[in-house]
């Protein structure tokens, strides 16, 4: 059974928790300043998830996406390691996709490491499919990125 989560837009007070999750989740974490910049970027949306009231708020995961005209680009999605495999990533991604669709998005894009099999499984289960490979995409130059896309028009046609 999936636990309910409260998903809301991130605030400045969430940035430290987001950054902590980032550093636990990725071999090349974004800087704290990068997260602060996203909060000021007019095309960027940062969503956070935590337990619903009456529980005390704790940021358990986050998702950052840009929406430029009718395209959504998912930049970053992470869940605290202690809270993975509970549906939180799916809930964040679903909320972000719904929000972008309501705001006019027709397609969504993201990059994922070939070694990140749990993320690939999540994306595929929601209708994303691979369209390209970006060679040596990550800063460590050790891994390519798989470019995945999602189209609401394709989903509606299924």
Contact 76, 22 (CB under 8 A): yes
Q: What does the alpha-carbon distance between residue 1 and residue 148 come to, in Å, rounded to a whole number?
A: 28
**111 in catalytic set:** yes
Residues 6 or more apart whose Cβ sits within 8 Å of residue 102: none
Active-site pick, 111, 137, 138, 143? 111
Please state, as a whole number, how many other Cβ atoms lie within 10 Å of the Cβ of residue 84. 15
- Alpha-carbon separation of residue 158 from 70, 109, 126, 151 (angstroms): 21, 19, 13, 11
**5 in catalytic set:** no
Active-site pick, 5, 62, 65, 123? 123
Helices (H) and strands (E) counted in the chain, each on its own, are 5, 7
- What residues are annotated to the active site? 111, 123
């Amino acid at each position: 059974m999936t636990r309910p989560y409260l998903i809301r837009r991130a605030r400045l007070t969430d940035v430290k928790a987001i950054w902590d999750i980032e550093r636990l989740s990725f071999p090349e974490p974004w800087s704290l300043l990068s997260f602060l910049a996203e909060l000021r970027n007019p095309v960027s949306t940062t969503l956070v998830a935590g337990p619903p009231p009456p529980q005390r708020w704790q940021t358990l995961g986050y998702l950052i996406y840009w929406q430029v005209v009718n395209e959504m680009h998912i930049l970053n999605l992470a869940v605290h390691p202690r809270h993975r495999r509970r549906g939180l990533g799916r809930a964040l991604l679903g909320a972000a996709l719904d929000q972008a669709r309501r705001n006019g998005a027709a397609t969504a894009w993201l990059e994922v490491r070939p070694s990140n099999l749990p993320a690939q499984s999540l994306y595929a289960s929601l209708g994303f499919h691979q369209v390209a490979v970006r060679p040596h995409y990550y800063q460590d130059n050790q891994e390519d990125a798989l470019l995945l896309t999602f189209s609401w028009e394709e989903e509606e046609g299924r």
